[in-house]
Amino acid sequence: MHRRTKIIATLGPATSSPEMLSKLIDAGMDIARLNMSHAKTEDVRQAVEHIRRLSTEKDRRVGILMDTQGPAIRTGDLLNALDLSPGDRIALTVRGEVSEEEQSVDVNYEHLVDDISVDDIVLVDNGNIQLKVLEKHYNHLSCEVLTEGVLGSRRHINLPGIRVNLPALTEKDMADIKLGIELNVDFFAMSFVREADDVVKLKGILEYNQAPQKIVAKLEDQQGVSNLDEIIEVADAMMVARGDLGIECPYEELPIIQRRVVKHCIRMGKPVIVATHMLESMIKSPSPTRAEVTDVANAVFEQADAVMLSGETSIGQYPLQCLEVMDRIARRIERSGGAGYAAEADPGDDFAKIVQSACSLAMEVEANGLILFTRTGRTVRYGACHRLSNIPIYAFTDNPVVLNQMTLYWGACGYMIDFDDTDPANNFKAAMQLLREQDILKHGDAIVSVTQVLAHGQLVDTVQMHRVE
């Protein structure tokens, strides 16, 4: 049985060479992530070229996810890092203000003073440094240091629970999206999605450019959580980005939010990714902690479409071992069952009901496979949301773009064939022949398919069951 849960690996200095990319593909990488917060344009071009070439050579499809930086609030450059102790005063300045405070740092968000209130908490450097706002001035905030830390240049700032006036897409994001369209990446991950309109803006850009990329909306703050269902409705997929989300929300809420997102995505028929800190200790250690094993296992048990590695494969010392660990955990947990969220799956249109019927039939007859044909990926997405634990989905398309995008769908194995529009029966014959040639199916196997037949001169969607002869 092939692994149902897909694995996304972030590329970086540790995994940029063609040799390491080849090993990652052999070890089971389904999607390569390009983190545009750090990646340079030329590095991105080379990575895409290497992945496409290796994917073709190995006859193993690998998707490419370009992750935009998003509208991040950061501190400015410092000549020297600031050693902060509890009780110290520090000024956060905007618009180039020069503060009389002994310690100060500029912030790139000019509306900071407008959005924040006295007694609010500012989290800096992934929450390692906590500041309390004591006074507001025209162009700076006077803050008290609550936790000890060293503040360096360009550190990320989080403002939990505070609605900020940031654009959905920055100038850098727009330039990176233009590059991604040019390079024909498969997915754009949109950072800090706060409401459905953020995704709609990016959709409009893609439609204007006639670009086929799918949009993965990253859930990273409380506002996004509040608008969860509306965001899922317009996005092509979701990502539980637990790094910023764990800072923006109370940490004890994070597992509940993760479970809620996975459950709602499965119910609404949208792919979902669980990301960040999954095997964090393996950046420096060749083996995971027991807690990390359980964390990955929980995401697999919840039946997320994909789990993601970040620093573990981009800058870590053991990128290949990380992928092997994740693959090993996923395969074992998948054999033990799942959370059962698919019982509520209801993507909502008539054709989805036909696919649901096929999934039900496949389970009743204990089929050896479900064959689906698609030009857009929709049929396969509908089939994947029912989480057929012991029944692989063999997905056939005539579109190479869709073939790449199916690397995100839970349980789906994608194949390319030429479709016969005059007689759909020939498509099924071609699919069966391919699976027989690859020794995937054998005599007596039961197969359920969603296909079309000609009836009175019209194409009609049907669910069929076959025995391999």
Catalytic residues: 33, 74, 218, 276
Residue 203 neighbours by CB distance under 10 Å? 16
Torsions phi, psi for 6 (to 5 deg): -85, 150
Provide the β-strand partners of residue 458.
455
> Alpha-carbon distance 338 to 285, whole Å?
29
> Alpha-carbon distance 268 to 262, whole Å?
10
Q: Where are the beta strands (DSSP E) in 223-327?
A: 237-241, 272-275, 306-309
Sign of the CA dihedral with 345 first, then 348, 354, and 355 last: negative
Could you tell me how far CA 369 lies from the centroid of its own chain? 26
- Please say whether the beta carbons of 273 and 237 come within 8 A: yes
Q: If we measure between CA atoms, which residue out of 365, 283, 362 comes closest to residue 325? A: 283
- The answer for 294, left when phi > 0, alpha when psi is -120 to 50, beta otherwise, is alpha
Q: If we measure between CA atoms, which residue out of 418, 320, 412 comes closest to residue 372? A: 412
Looking at residue 101, its amino acid is E
Query: Which DSSP string do the residues of 133-154 spell out, in sequence order?
Result: EEEE-SSEEEEEE-S-EEE-SS
What tokens appear for 303 in the block? 């039946």
DSSP symbol at 363: H
Residue 354 neighbours by CB distance under 10 Å? 16
> Alpha-carbon distance 55 to 419, whole Å?
23
- Please say whether the beta carbons of 125 and 80 come within 8 A: no
What tokens appear for 206 in the block? 């893609």
Torsions phi, psi for 129 (to 5 deg): -120, 125
Q: 253-281: string of b/e by CB count within 10 Å (b at 16+)?
A: ebeebbbebbbbbbbbbbbbbbbbebbbe
Sign of the CA dihedral with 217 first, then 219, 223, and 229 last: positive
Q: If we measure between CA atoms, which residue out of 102, 98, 55, 57 comes closest to residue 80? A: 102
